[in-house]
Structure 1
Amino acid sequence: MLSHLGYCRWRENALPIGVFEPPAKPARPSIPKLVSPKQIPSHKQLGLPLNAYMLHNLAHVELNAIDLAWDTVVRFSPYHVELLGDGFFADFAHVADDESRHFAWCSQRLAELGFRKLEV
């Protein structure tokens, strides 16, 4: 997974900090569309088994956690030298790596259940 590769590069000191200007807001894909929790269809409405539905939802949580961890690294990188230091960024890079592992577990189990890609 790309996030794990980024973390490996981070540990090798091959991922620079403070070099790029962060975007005004975090990037979001067009799919899935962000909706109110009340608008999310139930597993019954989608015709999905509950375990696949819950794993799919958990995978989205893990994916957002990966995005937030790396966004924190980039967004706060201008403050690296004067305020935060290496430990701050190392912690968030490690969180991104952990979350990518969790996402991979969810994806693997969904595939084992016969669901390669779910778009809800």
Structure 2
Amino acid sequence: MLSHLGYCRWRENALPIGFFEPPAKPARPSMPKLVSPKQIPSHKQLGLPLNAYMLHNLAHVELNAIDLAWDTVVRFSPYHELLGDGFFADFAHVAGDESRHFAWCSQRLAELGFRRLEV
């Protein structure tokens, strides 16, 4: 996973910060479409086992946590001198942890016979 590779590079001091202007808005994929929780169909409506449905939802939480951690590193990079290395190291570490959690969810979904669920 790219996030895990990024964290490994970070630990090797091979991922400098503050050299690029952060984008005005974080990048967002077109899918999945963001909807109200009330609009999300149940596992029964989708014909999915509850464990796969819950793991899929947890994977989305982990993916958003990865996104937020790296976005924080990039978004606040212009303030590197003010915030210090520890601020960025903490968020890079969070991204590394969340990458592992996402990988575990994905691995277990694959073990259950699901590659990627589009819900």
With structure 1 as the length reference, what TM-score do the two structures score?
A: 0.97
Alpha-carbon separation, structure 1, partners of 2:6 and 2:22: 17
TM superposition shift of 1:24: 1.1
1:23 Cα deviation from its structure 2 partner: 1.0
Mark the runs of 5 or more structure 1 residues left unpaired by the alignment. Answer: none
Separation (CA, whole Å) in 1 of partners of 2:41 and 2:23: 32
Aligned pairs for 1:13-52 within 5 A: 13-52=13-52
SS of aligned partner of 1:33: coil
Runs of 4+ in 1 over 3 A off after TM superposition: none
How far the C-alpha of 1:48 sits from its partner, in A, is: 0.4
Cα distance between partner residues in 2 of 1:14 and 1:21: 18
Deviation of 1:40 (Å): 0.6
Stretch deviating more after TM superposition (47-56 or 20-29): 20-29
Among the aligned pairs, what percent are the same residue? 97
Could you give the per-residue CA deviations for residues 55-75 of structure 1, whole angstroms, max 9, x where no partner exists?
000000000000000000000
Q: Shift of residue 108 of structure 1?
A: 0.3
Size of the aligned set, in residue pairs, is: 119
| 1:63-93 CA distance string (max 9 Å, x none) | 000000000000000000x310000000000
Quote the residue 2:112 is aligned against. Answer: 113
TM-score (normalised: structure 2): 0.98
- Could you list the runs of 5+ residues in structure 2 that have no partner in the other structure? none
